[in-house]
């Protein structure tokens, strides 16, 4: 098995038991006029993140490594949002926006809308696994864990938006479920500024997994037989 130059220390990884997890690379989070943009958050680094992820996915597919897409979204009637008794309705950004601006109901993070769709540059392919979620973590209330175990996956390489919210939430749950989580630092973008990105990198490297640059992954993928 190859040993990748990760932080805080090198990590031996079995690519035959690995998957790339693409978290919420939707128009809502990565495109102008999407939810993050409407909320006034900086999305200027989204094009670079999209490019980094696209390069990784191309190499991963060539190496026959599974791709898993997580996609956040609610039904138009918000029946899967948790309702008024759930803290999700008070803290999740789409819910907060819809409460503050009722004209956005059914337009942000709503299944079937442009905002909900994965960005065109990273559109899933037929063999990719797509898991729809209604909470920050991709493991909360979904079949993600069973789908991964059915495929014999142990190592999860994370990319997506937002680093400090849905990516970190899912990565933490992966750690608790005994997966080996690796965060692709240049394939992620925070909801916030560089301080939030740095905080998640610190948390992952110190307590929950490993981080690396996508070029380290790409270098090793090219050495693997298809």
Q: What is the pLDDT along the chain (226 residues), one digit of tens a residue?
A: 899 999 999 999 999 999 999 999 999 999 999 999 999 999 999 999 999 999 999 999 999 999 999 999 999 999 999 988 999 999 999 999 999 999 999 999 999 999 999 999 999 999 999 999 999 999 999 999 999 999 999 999 999 999 999 999 999 999 999 999 999 999 999 999 999 999 999 999 999 999 999 999 999 998 665 5
Q: Which single residue is written with the structure tokens 């989070």?
A: 29
Q: For residue 133, tell me if it sits in a domain.
A: yes
What is the reported pLDDT for 224?
A: 60
Q: For residue 70, tell me if it sits in a domain.
A: yes
Give ∠ CA 135-194-27 in degrees, rounded to 5.
45
Q: For residue 101, tell me if it sits in a domain.
A: yes
Q: For residue 159, tell me if it sits in a domain.
A: yes
Q: For residue 4, tell me if it sits in a domain.
A: no
Cα dihedral 188/183/156/81 (nearest 10): -50
What is the reported pLDDT for 1?
A: 86
Domain holding 20, by residue range, is 12-220
Domain of 122, CATH number, reads 3.40.50.850
164: left (phi over 0), alpha (psi -120 to 50) or beta: alpha
Q: For residue 187, tell me if it sits in a domain.
A: yes
Q: For residue 94, tell me if it sits in a domain.
A: yes
CA distance 226 to 200: 33
What is the reported pLDDT for 222?
A: 81
Cα–Cα distance list, 110 to 26, 64, 137, 142 (Å):
11, 32, 17, 17
How many domains does the chain divide into?
A: 1
What is the reported pLDDT for 223?
A: 65
Q: Where do runs of H (alpha helix) occur along the chain?
A: 27-30, 35-38, 46-62, 88-91, 93-100, 144-150, 168-176, 194-203, 214-221
Q: For residue 226, tell me if it sits in a domain.
A: no
What value does the CA radius of gyration of the chain take, rounded to a whole number of Å? 17
What is the reported pLDDT for 225?
A: 53
Which residues does the annotation mark as catalytic? 24, 133, 166
Which pTM value belongs to this model? 0.96
């Amino acid at each position: 098995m190859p040993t990748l130059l990760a932080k805080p220390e090198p990590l031996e990884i079995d690519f035959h038991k690995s998957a790339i997890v693409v978290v919420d690379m939707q128009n809502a989070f990565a495109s102008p006029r999407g939810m993050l943009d409407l909320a006034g958050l900086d999305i200027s680094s989204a094009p670079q993140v999209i490019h980094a992820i696209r390069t990784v996915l191309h190499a991963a597919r060539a190496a026959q490594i599974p791709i898993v897409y997580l996609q956040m979204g609610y039904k138009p009637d918000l029946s899967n949002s948790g309702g008024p008794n759930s803290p999700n309705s008070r803290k999740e950004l789409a819910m907060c926006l819809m409460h503050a601006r009722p004209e956005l109901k059914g337009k942000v993070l709503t299944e079937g809308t442009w905002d909900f769709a994965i960005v065109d540059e990273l559109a899933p392919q037929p063999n990719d696994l797509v898991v729809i979620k209604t909470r920050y973590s991709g493991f909360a209330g979904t079949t993600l864990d069973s789908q991964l175990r059915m495929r014999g996956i142990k190592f999860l390489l994370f990319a997506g938006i937002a680093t400090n919210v849905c990516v970190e939430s899912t990565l933490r749950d992966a750690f608790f479920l005994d997966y080996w989580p690796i965060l692709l630092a240049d394939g992620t973008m925070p909801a916030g500024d560089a301080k939030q990105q740095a905080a998640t990198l610190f948390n992952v490297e110190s307590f929950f997994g490993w981080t690396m640059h996508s070029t380290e992954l790409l270098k090793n993928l090219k050495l693997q037989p298809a």
